[in-house]
């Protein structure tokens, strides 16, 4: 399959008063054309920062370093601000978590939608309006003419997220970065939005980088999955492989702490401890303080990412080499 986006050794740093925090640490991944890559992890594991680093939306004071962020072969990591600005909304667009606050309250939906069209593909007021109406119909919004004249506060959360999807899709970008697009919505709306995204993705042949902490959503929509922990990629697999056989102890912990329909009563298993803060990263493997399988090696040496087959990678001393892990359960 063709790679649309290839990120090589991405590192992102946040400046603090006495140095800098290493928020994203040596992250490499790719997104194939027409593929939905899910990035999973707990809050604060660096998934959003990874996404914002790719699209160039982090505050200027943050430092993004990489050995290349290749988008259709060109290294957008080295693009200037204005080159990136022309990419955004046209080649790469983004959908955010909070539909309630992500639209400007003082401008009509029409203004906010048509602004995106005008910026990248202006073909006159009437044509732009036609395009806006068409995309609103595509995201299954009834009465699109009325919606164009509405202000965000007049729409429900689900409607606003549809509008956000419309804004992201209107210029037919090759890649959409969706940062927890359904987290703020209730479950029934969430299912509708997910179905809509999958459907439109196929129709427009768009790739999606889908950031979520919800494994249920991952199982539903993803083709491949990247599991992140404490700023690092810990596991990468196709969605089938990941759910059939999670290899990294962290992935296993995440799976175990998900409610299953066939589950007996009692306490839900959890992963003990909390994600380490960026300022106090443990030595060795970043997961070792919480890992049930941690050995002396894990405490002293940081594991490298190992490839296990063509589409599977894992960052663990215990996987596919030194020692085998017991099956999850």
Partner 1 sequence: MGKYIAKRLGQAVVVLLIVTAIIFLLVNVAGDPTANMLPLDASEADRQAMREAMGLNRPLFIQYMDFLGKAIRGDFGNSYRYNLPAINLALQRMPVSLQLAGTALLFAVLFAIPLGILSAKFANSPFDLVVSSVSVLGRAMPNFWIGILLILLFAVNWKLFPVSGSGTAKHLVLPAMTLAIQSASQIIPLIRSNMLDVMQEDYIRTARSKGVGEGVITMVHAFKNALVPVVTVVALEIPGLIGGALITETIFAWPGLGQFLIQAINNRDMSVVQVCIFMISVITLFANLVADLVYCLIDPRIRY
- The Cα–Cα gap between 176 and 23 comes to 22
Rounded to a whole number of angstroms, the minimum distance from the CB of residue 214 to partner 1 is 20
Please choose, from the candidates 37, 16, 13, the residue with its C-alpha nearest in 3D space to the C-alpha of residue 26. 13
Identify which of residues 173 and 249 has a Cβ nearer to partner 1 in the complex.
173
Residue 211's H or E segment, with its range, is strand 207-212
Per the structure block, which two tokens stand in for 41? 């992890």
Residues 6+ apart with CB under 8 A from 32: 1, 2, 3, 4, 207, 223, 224
Identify which of residues 107 and 127 has a Cβ nearer to partner 1 in the complex.
107
- The Cα–Cα gap between 145 and 78 comes to 41
Identify which of residues 43 and 188 has a Cβ nearer to partner 1 in the complex.
43
Identify which of residues 168 and 271 has a Cβ nearer to partner 1 in the complex.
168
Please choose, from the candidates 73, 22, 23, the residue with its C-alpha nearest in 3D space to the C-alpha of residue 44. 23
Per the structure block, which two tokens stand in for 180? 């927890």
- The Cα–Cα gap between 253 and 259 comes to 12
Would you say 250 and 256 are in contact if contact means Cβ atoms under 8 Å apart?
no
Identify which of residues 45 and 103 has a Cβ nearer to partner 1 in the complex.
103
Per the structure block, which two tokens stand in for 90? 């046209």
Q: Which residues in this chain contact partner 1 in the complex, by CB under 8 A? A: 55, 57, 85-90, 93-94, 96, 98, 101-107, 115-116, 119-120, 151, 153-154, 164, 167-168
Rounded to a whole number of angstroms, the minimum distance from the CB of residue 193 to partner 1 is 17
Identify which of residues 179 and 236 has a Cβ nearer to partner 1 in the complex.
179
What's the angle, vertex CA 253, arms to CA 251 and CA 255, rounded to 5?
70
Rounded to a whole number of angstroms, the minimum distance from the CB of residue 106 to partner 1 is 5
| Backbone torsions φ then ψ of 177, nearest 5 degrees | -100, 115
C-alpha neighbours within 13 Å on the C-beta side of residue 178: 35
| Backbone torsions φ then ψ of 174, nearest 5 degrees | -80, -25
Identify which of residues 111 and 243 has a Cβ nearer to partner 1 in the complex.
111
For every residue of 20-49, DSSP letters joined together read EEEEEEEEEEEEETT-EEEEE--TTSSHHH
Identify which of residues 81 and 244 has a Cβ nearer to partner 1 in the complex.
81
Rounded to a whole number of angstroms, the minimum distance from the CB of residue 212 to partner 1 is 18
Rounded to a whole number of angstroms, the minimum distance from the CB of residue 154 to partner 1 is 8
Between the CA of residue 250 and those of 41, 218, 259, 265, 299, what are the distances in Å?
9, 16, 16, 23, 16
Rounded to a whole number of angstroms, the minimum distance from the CB of residue 171 to partner 1 is 9
Rounded to a whole number of angstroms, the minimum distance from the CB of residue 63 to partner 1 is 18
Identify which of residues 85 and 127 has a Cβ nearer to partner 1 in the complex.
85
What region, left, alpha or beta, does residue 94 occupy, with left being phi > 0 and alpha being psi -120 to 50 degrees?
beta
Rounded to a whole number of angstroms, the minimum distance from the CB of residue 91 to partner 1 is 9
Rounded to a whole number of angstroms, the minimum distance from the CB of residue 101 to partner 1 is 4
């Amino acid at each position: 399959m063709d790679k649309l986006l290839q990120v090589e050794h991405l590192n992102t740093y946040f400046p603090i008063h006495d140095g800098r925090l290493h928020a994203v640490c040596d992250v490499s991944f790719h997104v194939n054309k027409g593929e939905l890559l899910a990035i999973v992890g707990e809050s604060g594991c660096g998934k959003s920062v990874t996404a914002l680093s790719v699209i160039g939306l982090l505050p200027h004071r943050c430092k993004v370093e990489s050995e290349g962020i290749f988008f259709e072969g060109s290294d957008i990591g080295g693009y200037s601000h204005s080159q990136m600005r022309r990419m955004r909304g046209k080649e790469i667009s983004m959908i955010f978590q909070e539909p309630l606050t992500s639209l400007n309250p003082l401008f009509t939906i029409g203004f906010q939608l048509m602004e995106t069209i005008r910026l990248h593909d202006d073909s006159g007021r009437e044509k732009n309006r036609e395009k806006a109406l068409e995309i609103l119909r595509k995201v299954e919004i009834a009465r699109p003419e009325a919606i164009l004249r509405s202000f965000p506060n007049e729409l429900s959360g689900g409607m606003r997220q549809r509008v956000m999807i419309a804004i992201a899709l209107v210029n037919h970008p090759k890649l959409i970065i969706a940062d927890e697009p359904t987290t703020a919505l209730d479950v029934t709306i969430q299912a509708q939005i997910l179905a809509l995204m999958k459907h439109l993705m196929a129709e427009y042949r768009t790739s999606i980088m889908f950031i979520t902490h919800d494994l249920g959503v991952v199982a539903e929509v993803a083709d491949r999955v990247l599991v992140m922990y404490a700023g690092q990629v810990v596991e990468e697999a196709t969605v089938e492989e990941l759910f059939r056989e999670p290899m990294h102890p962290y992935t296993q912990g995440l799976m175990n702490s998900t409610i299953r329909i066939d589950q007996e009563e009692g306490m839900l298993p959890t992963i003990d401890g909390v994600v380490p803060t960026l300022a106090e990263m443990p030595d060795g493997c970043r997961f070792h303080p919480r890992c049930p399988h941690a050995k002396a090696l894990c405490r002293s040496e940081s594991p490298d990412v190992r490839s296990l087959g063509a589409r599977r990678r894992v960052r663990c001393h215990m996987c596919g080499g030194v020692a085998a892990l017991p099956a999850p359960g």
